[in-house]
Structure 1
Amino acid sequence: MKVMLFAAGLGTRLRPLTDTMPKAMVPVAGRPLIDIVLRHLIAQGATEVVVNVHHFAQQIVDFVTQHEWPVPVRISDETDELLNTGGGLRHAAPLFAQDGAPILIHNVDILSNAPIAAFYKQNLQADATLMVSQRDTQRYLLFDDDMRLRGWTNIATGEVKSPFDHIEVDKLQRYAFSGIHMFSPRLFDLMAGRPAAFPIMDFYLEACAKADIRGYVQPDLHLLDVGKLNTLHEAESFVRELGL
């Protein structure tokens, strides 16, 4: 299982901690976030990992290189320019084995009980598969009855994004995105012409008219975004509870 671990973000929601360190190095239960998430992904079957870096990049590079890992862990350097999620993935592509297998994408500030190994094995055929769940939020991805991605909506503002004309939001299923997804290298061709930096979700919302991009509903998903100061205490309990 190839894994892209997004760790390049500025971590602005975790200030003042991230005034002196990247969010990947913020400690939870006495360990840097990247150590918790990286070891969890390896335990779930990761065979190679690429970590992108930008904000206080050298701290992450030092941490990765100073530890021994049972699988290759490579660094995708974005110190010159933060490339966002889509651009970051495209920039990291040459660092992966060129075997056509999907890339599992995970954020460094997400903790969950998601069965990553099972999710990966069950979703090898689509061009992309987004792990979703039934969760109360303002922003939802929209899917048809076959769980093919059709758009996105913000129910608070009524905004809708979709490449399809006359989309009927009320007739589509809506689910919350987990931040965990699978990406087939087949999709890199559809990224041609995009700027160096772009969000991968914007790409998905355009590419779903041309490619097989699906949702996978993960039941009983317990997910914690550790991107805010007020979640750090909860994160410590979460890590201990799940044995991460």
Structure 2
Amino acid sequence: MKALLFAAGRGTRLKPLTDTMPKALVPVAGKPLLWHTLTRLREAGATEVVVNVHHFGEQIISYLDKHDFGIPVHVSDEREELLDTGGGLRQAMKLFTPNDNSILIHNVDILSNAPLREFYEANKDADAALMVSERVTNRYLLFDDNNYLRAWANLQTGEVRTPFQNLDIASLHRYAFSGIHLVSPRLLSFLEEFPKIFPIMNFYLQTCDQLSFRGVFTPTLRLLDVGKQDTLKEAEDFLLML
């Protein structure tokens, strides 16, 4: 299993901690978020990982140099320019050992009980698969009866994004995105058509009429986004329950 760990974010919601360190190195239960997520990926079967870096990227590089996770860990360096998730994925894809294996993508600040190995094995034939749940939010991905991505909707603003004409939005199933997904390396040629900097969700929503993007509903999913100061203590308790 190849895995990409998104760790380049500025972590503005975790200020003032992130005034002096990257979000990836913010400690939870005595270990950095980076350690928790990398360890989880390795235990799920990852044999090669790419970590992208930007904000205080040199600290992450130094940390990786000093800690052996038992598998190759490469750095996708975005210190000069943050590429967003789509541009970051495209750059990182070129650092993996060339083969047909899909890439599992995981945010560094997500803690969960997600069945990563099972998710990967069951969906490695897809162009992309997005782990979703029924979590309450304002923004949803919309899927058809066969669980293929068709649109995105913001319930608060009424905005809908889709490449499909005359789509019956009311007939679609809405789920919240977990930040955990996988992509096939064959998507690289499609990603090359996009600008240098772009969100991966833009790619999904602009090409879901050409490619097969599968939604994977995980009813037992418990997930915590460690993005704010007040979630750090909650994160320690969350880890104890996993």
TM-score band by shorter chain is over 0.9
2:108: which partner in 1? 108
- The residue correspondences of 1:214-225 to structure 2 (distance < 5 A) are 214-225=214-225
2:93: which partner in 1? 93
Q: How far is 1:110 from its partner? A: 0.2
- The residue correspondences of 1:7-18 to structure 2 (distance < 5 A) are 7-18=7-18
1:177: which partner in 2? 177
2:237: which partner in 1? 237
1:133: which partner in 2? 133
Q: How far is 1:189 from its partner? A: 1.1
TM-score normalised to structure 1 length = 0.98
2:154: which partner in 1? 154
Instruction: Give the alignment's Cα RMSD to 1 decimal.
Output: 0.8
Q: How far is 1:168 from its partner? A: 1.7
Per-residue CA distance 1:13-54 (angstroms, 9 max, x = gap)? 111110110000001011110001100110111000000000
Runs of 5+ unmatched residues, structure 2? none
Cα distance in 2 for partners of 1:230, 1:166 equals 43
Cα distance in 1 for partners of 2:239, 2:40 equals 11
Per-residue CA distance 1:121-141 (angstroms, 9 max, x = gap)? 000111000000111110000
Q: How far is 1:87 from its partner? A: 0.3
- The residue correspondences of 1:64-79 to structure 2 (distance < 5 A) are 64-79=64-79
1:36: which partner in 2? 36
Q: How far is 1:239 from its partner? A: 1.3
Q: How far is 1:167 from its partner? A: 1.8
Cα distance in 1 for partners of 2:221, 2:177 equals 11
Cα distance in 2 for partners of 1:52, 1:192 equals 18
2:63: which partner in 1? 63
Q: How far is 1:192 from its partner? A: 2.5
Cα distance in 1 for partners of 2:67, 2:229 equals 27
Runs of 4+ in 1 over 2 A off after TM superposition: none
**Residues matched between the structures, number:** 242
Q: Percent identity?
A: 59
Q: How far is 1:169 from its partner? A: 1.3
Per-residue CA distance 1:73-94 (angstroms, 9 max, x = gap)? 1111001100000100111112
Cα distance in 1 for partners of 2:162, 2:240 equals 40
Per-residue CA distance 1:207-232 (angstroms, 9 max, x = gap)? 10100111000111000000111111
Q: Look up the SS of the partner of 1:216 in the other structure.
A: strand
Cα distance in 2 for partners of 1:179, 1:36 equals 16
Runs of 5+ unmatched residues, structure 1? none
Q: Look up the SS of the partner of 1:114 in the other structure.
A: coil
Cα distance in 2 for partners of 1:155, 1:93 equals 33
1:212 paired to 2:212: yes
Q: How far is 1:191 from its partner? A: 1.6
Cα distance in 2 for partners of 1:38, 1:71 equals 10
Per-residue CA distance 1:114-168 (angstroms, 9 max, x = gap)? 0100000000111000000111110000000000100100111110000001222
Q: How far is 1:193 from its partner? A: 2.9
Cα distance in 2 for partners of 1:148, 1:162 equals 13
